[in-house]
Amino acid sequence: MSRFPAYRPRRLRRSEALRRLVRETRVDAAQLVQPLFVVPGRGVEKPVASMPGIAQRSVERTAEECRRLRDLGVPAVILFGVPERKDARGSGATDPEGIIPRALGAIREAAPGLLLVTDVCLCEYTDHGHCGLVKDGDVDNDPTLQLLAGEAVAHARAGADVIAPSDMMDGRVGAIRTALDAAGFAHLPIMAYAAKFASAFYGPFRDAAESTPQFGDRRSYQMDPANAEEALREVALDIEEGADIVMVKPALPYLDIVRRVKERFGYPVAAYHVSGEYAMVKAAAERGWIDEARVVEESLTAIRRAGADVIITYFAQDVARGLGRR
Ligand code: PBG
């Protein structure tokens, strides 16, 4: 059975040049997306305590940061907005003068060429913190679709390059596609958070986006972490409804899903390496318990190896700076 001693796998591990030559998977900054949090005000740059290296920034500071990121070689950012005022219907989300449309205008000017992805959801805009309209204590699916579609069109009009719905309402990709097409944005791609799990790894994000649900949790719309077959059905639906890129989220605990989605559909797959995954690495590295650069490189390589084309990660800026390159 064994081909040893004719086959000795160690022969190709003898030098870094050889290892690089036969390496199957590479992490390229060109495939990374940096998340950014935009808040009201001027001159605001407020570090997020649970995410060292990440800050909430006002519009003009975000635009400056975007120029820095673009110059470093980060190709894309995904924008999350915190509005001035929150209300039950999340009105700030569809406002053509809202926080994200304003940020898009400023970034376009400061950093032409940077790809601008916008997260489309209501949780940052509603006073109850849920991702849709609430009726009798439950998130009301169908009336929410129109608001999400309005939000997507507002982002498109303000210059978004990619629309990324993260709400997990049924039918929202179709509703957004129809509205974008009708508004003259048939060319604009949708990156759907297709298999988004109700995860404990989103904790730090909710501090950064100020989007913690004020009652209950998101388990009636985000997926049960136990379900892989259902994830494939969710992805199939989003593709039928017009998604161009399908996302799995979180990343490392869900690499089996990433792999199956890639194999089953052959679509561009994005994986969201989320806030909790970032925070754990930062916390352990601060204590000197792990080598951050190596852990980051290994983690992103694993996500790519599983089948992700695109990785949304808070480490994009560090990778572009060359951290972890060896
Ligand atoms: C909004 C949204 C969330 C994330 C991305 N979009 C939070 C949530 O669903 O509660 C999480 C990202 C992260 O943890 O880094 N719906």
Mutation test residue for ligand 1: of 123, 205, 247, the one with most atoms within 8 Å of CB: 205
Specify if 209 maps to a domain. Answer: yes
DSSP strands (E only) in the chain: 32-38, 45-47, 55-57, 76-81, 115-120, 134-135, 138-139, 162-165, 191-196, 245-249, 269-273, 310-313
Q: What is the DSSP letter of 224?
A: P
In this structure, the residue with its CA closest to atom 14 of ligand 1 is 202
SS3 166: coil
Mutation test residue for ligand 1: of 166, 201, 212, 314, the one with most atoms within 8 Å of CB: 166
Structure tokens at 201: 């790894």
The active-site residue, picked from 86, 249, 262, 282, is 249
Q: What pLDDT digit, counting tens, does each position of 150-208 carry?
A: 999 999 999 999 999 999 999 999 999 999 999 999 999 999 999 999 999 999 999 99
Whole domain around residue 59: which residue ranges?
Answer: 25-321
CATH number of the CATH domain containing 109: 3.20.20.70
Specify if 14 maps to a domain. Answer: no
CB 303 within 8 A of CB 255: yes
pLDDT at 146 over 60: yes
196 catalytic residue (yes or no)? yes
In this structure, the residue with its CA closest to atom 5 of ligand 1 is 166
Q: How many domains does the chain have?
A: 1
Q: Nearest-5° angle of CA 50, CA 54, CA 58?
A: 120
Q: What pLDDT digit, counting tens, does each position of 44-98 carry?
A: 999 999 999 999 999 999 999 999 999 999 999 999 999 999 999 999 999 999 9
Mean pLDDT of 1-7: 90
Residue 312: strand pairing partners = 33, 272
Provide the pLDDT confidence category of residue 308 given band limits of 50, 70 and 90: very high
Specify if 136 maps to a domain. Answer: yes
Specify if 1 maps to a domain. Answer: no
Q: What pLDDT digit, counting tens, does each position of 33-50 carry?
A: 999 999 999 999 999 999
Quote the pLDDT of residue 1.
67
Quote the pLDDT of residue 281.
98
Question: What gap in Å lies between CA 62 and CA 41, rounded to an integer?
Answer: 11
Instruction: Of 126, 52, 137, give the one whose Cα is nearest residue 86.
Output: 126
Compare 284 and 322 and report the one with higher pLDDT: 284
Q: Tell me, in angstroms, the distance from the centre of ligand 1 to residue 167's CA.
A: 9
Specify if 326 maps to a domain. Answer: no
pLDDT at 100 over 80: yes
Global model pTM greater than 0.85: yes
Provide the pLDDT confidence category of residue 325 given band limits of 50, 70 and 90: very low
Q: Tell me, in angstroms, the distance from the centre of ligand 1 to residue 54's CA.
A: 15
Q: Tell me, in angstroms, the distance from the centre of ligand 1 to residue 202's CA.
A: 6
Specify if 160 maps to a domain. Answer: yes
Specify if 157 maps to a domain. Answer: yes
Largest CA distance in the chain: 70
Provide the pLDDT confidence category of residue 282 given band limits of 50, 70 and 90: very high
Question: What gap in Å lies between CA 64 and CA 14, rounded to an integer?
Answer: 44
pLDDT at 326 over 80: no
Quote the pLDDT of residue 2.
85
Quote the pLDDT of residue 324.
47
Specify if 167 maps to a domain. Answer: yes
Residue 192: strand pairing partners = 246
Which residues have CB under 6 Å of ligand 1? 119, 121, 123, 131, 166, 202, 205-206, 218, 274-275
